[in-house]
Amino acid sequence: MSEVQTHRVQPAWKKRALIDDKTYQQWYAESVESPEAFWGEHGKRIDWFRPYTKVKNTTFSGDVSIKWFEDGLTNVSYNCVDRHLEKRGDQVAIIWEGDNPYDDKKITYRELHDHVCRFANVLKKHGVKKGDRVTIYMPMIPEAAYAMLACTRIGAVHSIVFGGFSPDSLAGRIVDAESTFVITADEGLRGGRTIPLKENTDRAIDIAAKNFVMVKNVLVVRRTGGKVGWANGRDLWYHDEVASVPAECAPEQMNAEDPLFILYTSGSTGKPKGVLHTTGGYLVFASMTHQYVFDYHDGDIYWCTADVGWVTGHSYIVYGPLSNGATTLMFEGVPNYPSPSRFWEVIDKHQVNIFYTAPTAIRALMGAGDQHVKKSSRQSLRTLGTVGEPINPEAWNWYFNVVGEGRCPVVDTWWQTETGGIMISPLPGAMDLKPGSATRPFFGVQPQLVDNEGNVLEGAADGNLCIVDSWPGQMRTVYGDHERFIQTYFSTYTGKYFTGDGCRRDEDGYYWITGRVDDVINVSGHRMGTAEVESALVSHPTVSEAAVVGYPHDIKGQGIYCYVSLMAGEVPSEDLRKELVAHVRREIGAIASPDKIQFSPSLPKTRSGKIMRRILRKIAEDDFGTLGDTSTLADPAVVDDLISNRQNKK
Ligand code: WTA
């Protein structure tokens, strides 16, 4: 690997930073040597109705049990709203920037309190209680944040489903969570196009009913005013409902280990799993990482471009920033609408200081040309962040030099839905930066590299990334399936949390995430299980077998490459290819759109019938010179056919 240039901490970063290198070293040492004392102290950054006396009670062995602050009582919405009212009631909590650049609004903490309380009262009025699961399928509008906070206020557990998912995917999540209350909008609006959220919800509810989960109510926020179907008695208009309930609602006293939310995410096998996060530890970790990683100071305007349907939106649009009393910007649109200058225009318009986005957006905007950036001032910017996938040094350098004009540290933050918050990342005043490296672990995070046999690798090494001890933001279980939790994360390397990522540690102890080592692919920063796409493909009547792999894609990071065998008598054609792409979009959602489909009469299998994905990956990468050992194949001739019909010829 060619050496990348190291960027030293600039004096200006250090001067204002909350954490310098000395403090980082000290705190980090304390956090791993005495986690009880360290987190006992930092747990106090949130308000507790009853302080905890126990801090950490965790084991990664046997049944795997993770408890933090277990006898403390608190409430997330209280911490994100009420506790700020005295000091910053009139400060803007949420800046909303619509899809249309002329559409925006500002919501103060006092107004947020009013909205959240009313929303909570509507939920209560319709029988939603502590512990009930509420599904949220919303566009990026402030009501999505009100809905989340309203759930936390009364102790209901939210399960947000990204608005780009299909009715089938939504139904699967409603059924798994046994959720009978759904919050949605008439339509979403992105890049000038509408998304039929209510219609999708109606269809999902029918599918869920066939699986014996009956949705009792759908609360609908009016966003576009588009026409929607209506089931009297079941469907409720949000604006009617909130008008008739009080604007006060006492926050429920929640145990630190009471469930806070479920978020479904893709794994290497089976259906998406419901990652369960709980109340106290999650909030402490989200709030602390938000403050230190972004070097957040009171009064900063902070913008994370994620969607609340992903974990980044949970932790770094809503819970982290609001628990810190920040002004958080929520953006409904897309980076290139109406033009590729949109991000930079929004930054100038709202004087954004901290900007957090994904490598895929950076690469796309880099491709659009510097002129779209240079039109804007961007003088308000102070810290830049990225998340979701490895960032290639070219994109990093462009972000640093062109967007940040060499003035702003880039924090490349590695973490996962499962980790709740940022795990490996620079702290702006404490770490020299190397483009492409997430640098060093956050407080309390103990990464370890192991080889495929589980041997611990020391010093500079390349291996599989594990975390050896618990941190407060860690997921607690797979909803309804603790066994799957143990199997997925703690059985590959017994007694360690296995991330699924490959990683290199260099001679300076810096971590470089190299990407997933399992059958998960990362498309535009969205996690996709290859098994999910395969099962969508084989559900089409013409398909007998499918194998899906990732391949390097200039903008998306990884693209989706599908090998498809057809039923006897079916004939490959361009029309069928299009039909299969449309089918996968219908089954899962647009984010799972296959980029390439290769029809092949058969797939390479071992004599025991196992598909040899290693070979399929190589062919998809157009790198078949090094196919490795093919002697175990049942029929080696299959490979020649696959190579000659490959779709990614360079
Ligand atoms: C990948 C998103 C490299 C990684 C917060 C991880 C990254 C998966 C980075 C989790 C990064 C996330 N550098 N890879 N900075 N951040 N990833 O659950 O493969 O949607 O396992 O959480 O994204 O994706 P998830």
Give the rounded distance of the alpha carbon of 368 from its chain centre.
25
Backbone angles phi, psi at 211, to 5 degrees: -100, 20
Give the rounded distance of the alpha carbon of 337 from its chain centre.
22
**Could you write out the three-class secondary structure of 423-443?**
CECCCCCCCCECCCCCECECC
The conformation of residue 361, written as its DSSP 8-state character, comes to H
Residue closest via CA to ligand 1's atom 3 equals 390
Q: What is the pLDDT of residues 93-150, one digit of tens each?
A: 999 999 999 999 999 999 999 999 999 999 999 999 999 999 999 999 999 999 999 9
What pLDDT sits at residue 335?
97
Q: Over range 348-374, report the average pLDDT.
A: 97
Q: What is the pLDDT of residues 230-267, one digit of tens each?
A: 999 999 999 999 999 999 999 999 999 999 999 999 98
How far, in Å, CA of 281 to CA of 56, rounded?
10
Residues comprising the chain, all counted: 650
Q: Over range 196-204, report the average pLDDT.
A: 98
Q: What angle do CA 302, 503, 385 make, to 5 degrees?
A: 10
State in Å: Cα 489 to ligand 1 middle: 16
Q: CB neighbours (10 Å) of residue 554? A: 11
What pLDDT sits at residue 175?
98
What pLDDT sits at residue 3?
58
Question: Is 168 labeled as ligand-binding?
Answer: no
Question: Is 121 labeled as ligand-binding?
Answer: no
Please indicate whether residue 437, judged by its CB atom, sits closer than 6 Å to ligand 1.
Answer: no
CB 374 within 8 A of CB 342: no
Question: Is 412 labeled as ligand-binding?
Answer: yes
Beta bridge partners of 466: 448, 498
What pLDDT sits at residue 1?
46
Residue closest via CA to ligand 1's atom 10 equals 416
Which SS3 state, helix, strand or coil, does residue 622 take? coil
- Work out the pLDDT band at 367, boundaries 50, 70, 90: very high
How far, in Å, CA of 526 to CA of 528, rounded?
6
Please indicate whether residue 416, judged by its CB atom, sits closer than 6 Å to ligand 1.
Answer: yes
- What angle, 0 to 180 degrees and rounded to 10, lies between the N-to-C axes of helices 613-620 and 637-644? 20
How far, in Å, CA of 116 to CA of 329, rounded?
17
Question: Is 108 labeled as ligand-binding?
Answer: no
How far, in Å, CA of 82 to CA of 203, rounded?
38
Give the rounded distance of the alpha carbon of 72 from its chain centre.
28
CB 105 within 8 A of CB 96: yes
- Work out the pLDDT band at 270, boundaries 50, 70, 90: confident
State in Å: Cα 417 to ligand 1 middle: 8
How far, in Å, CA of 423 to CA of 190, rounded?
31
Q: Token digits for 200?
A: 């999708």
- Work out the pLDDT band at 632, boundaries 50, 70, 90: confident
Q: CB neighbours (10 Å) of residue 380? A: 15
Q: Pocket of ligand 1, candidates 416, 418, 425: which has the most ligand atoms within 8 Å of its Cβ, to mutate?
A: 416
Please indicate whether residue 527, judged by its CB atom, sits closer than 6 Å to ligand 1.
Answer: yes
Q: What is the pLDDT of residues 561-573, one digit of tens each?
A: 999 999 999 999 9
Which SS3 state, helix, strand or coil, does residue 231 take? coil
| pLDDT reading at 275 higher than 70 | yes
Antiparallel, parallel or unpaired: β 410-413 and 383-387 = parallel
Question: What percent of the chain lies above the pLDDT cut of 90?
Answer: 93
Please indicate whether residue 390, judged by its CB atom, sits closer than 6 Å to ligand 1.
Answer: yes
DSSP 520-589: EEEETTEEEEHHHHHHHHHTSTTEEEEEEEEEEETTTEEEEEEEEEEPTT----HHHHHHHHHHHHHHTB
Residue closest via CA to ligand 1's atom 22 equals 416
Residue 62 identity: G
The conformation of residue 93, written as its DSSP 8-state character, comes to E
Question: Is 401 labeled as ligand-binding?
Answer: no
Task: List CB contacts of 301: < 8 A, sequence separation 6 or more.
Answer: 95, 327, 329, 350, 351, 352, 353, 354, 380
Question: Is 96 labeled as ligand-binding?
Answer: no
Work out which ligand 1 atom sits closest to the CA atom of 499: 21
Residue closest via CA to ligand 1's atom 15 equals 414
Tell me the chain's radius of gyration from C-alpha atoms.
24
Helix residue spans in 126-196 (DSSP H): 142-154, 167-177
Q: What is the pLDDT of residues 312-326, one digit of tens each?
A: 999 999 999 999 999
How far, in Å, CA of 619 to CA of 605, rounded?
15
| pLDDT reading at 49 higher than 50 | yes
State in Å: Cα 633 to ligand 1 middle: 34
SS3 content of the chain, % helix, strand, coil (to 5): 35, 25, 40
How far, in Å, CA of 286 to CA of 328, rounded?
14
How far, in Å, CA of 435 to CA of 7, rounded?
8
- Work out the pLDDT band at 379, boundaries 50, 70, 90: very high
Residue with tokens 């599908």: 562
How far is residue 371 from each of residues 346, 357, 375, 420, measured CA to CA in Å? 16, 20, 6, 37
How far, in Å, CA of 185 to CA of 508, rounded?
50
Q: What is the pLDDT of residues 538-556, one digit of tens each?
A: 999 999 999 999 999 999 9
Q: What angle do CA 503, 507, 509 make, to 5 degrees?
A: 60
Torsion of CA 493, 497, 501, 503, to 10 degrees: -80
Q: What is the pLDDT of residues 291-310, one digit of tens each?
A: 999 999 999 999 999 999 99
Question: Is 394 labeled as ligand-binding?
Answer: no
Which SS3 state, helix, strand or coil, does residue 55 take? coil
**What per-residue string of b and e applies to 576-610 under the rule 16 or more CB within 10 Å gives b?**
bbeebbebbbebbbebbebbbbbbbeebbbeeeee
CB 598 within 8 A of CB 561: yes
Q: Over range 432-449, report the average pLDDT.
A: 98
Residue with tokens 């969607």: 307
Q: Token digits for 245?
A: 């309930």
Question: Is 506 labeled as ligand-binding?
Answer: no
Q: CB neighbours (10 Å) of residue 625? A: 6
What pLDDT sits at residue 631?
77
Residue 334 identity: V
Torsion of CA 281, 284, 287, 288, to 10 degrees: -120
- Work out the pLDDT band at 214, boundaries 50, 70, 90: very high
- Work out the pLDDT band at 4, boundaries 50, 70, 90: confident
pTM reported for the whole predicted model: 0.96
Please indicate whether residue 415, judged by its CB atom, sits closer than 6 Å to ligand 1.
Answer: yes
Please indicate whether residue 307, judged by its CB atom, sits closer than 6 Å to ligand 1.
Answer: no
Q: Token digits for 561?
A: 């490459």
Q: Token digits for 456?
A: 């611990």
Task: List CB contacts of 34: < 8 A, sequence separation 6 or more.
Answer: none
Q: How many CA atoms lie within 13 A of 517 on its CB side?
A: 19
State in Å: Cα 540 to ligand 1 middle: 31
Please indicate whether residue 646, judged by its CB atom, sits closer than 6 Å to ligand 1.
Answer: no
**Bond from prior residue into 541 cis (ω within 30 degrees of 0):** no
Give the rounded distance of the alpha carbon of 436 from its chain centre.
20
Residue closest via CA to ligand 1's atom 25 equals 416
Beta bridge partners of 58: 66
Q: How many CA atoms lie within 13 A of 276 on its CB side?
A: 22
State in Å: Cα 601 to ligand 1 middle: 35
Question: Is 188 labeled as ligand-binding?
Answer: no
How far, in Å, CA of 434 to CA of 396, rounded?
9
What pLDDT sits at residue 269?
80
Question: What percent of the chain lies above the pLDDT cut of 70?
Answer: 100
Please indicate whether residue 176, judged by its CB atom, sits closer than 6 Å to ligand 1.
Answer: no
| pLDDT reading at 396 higher than 90 | yes
The conformation of residue 44, written as its DSSP 8-state character, comes to G
More confident residue, 613 or 361: 361
Q: Over range 270-284, report the average pLDDT.
A: 96
How far, in Å, CA of 483 to CA of 477, rounded?
9
| pLDDT reading at 2 higher than 70 | no
CB 375 within 8 A of CB 341: yes
| pLDDT reading at 179 higher than 50 | yes
How far, in Å, CA of 292 to CA of 206, rounded?
45
Work out which ligand 1 atom sits closest to the CA atom of 438: 15
C-alpha closest to that of 142 among 103, 181, 171, 180: 103
Residue closest via CA to ligand 1's atom 14 equals 389
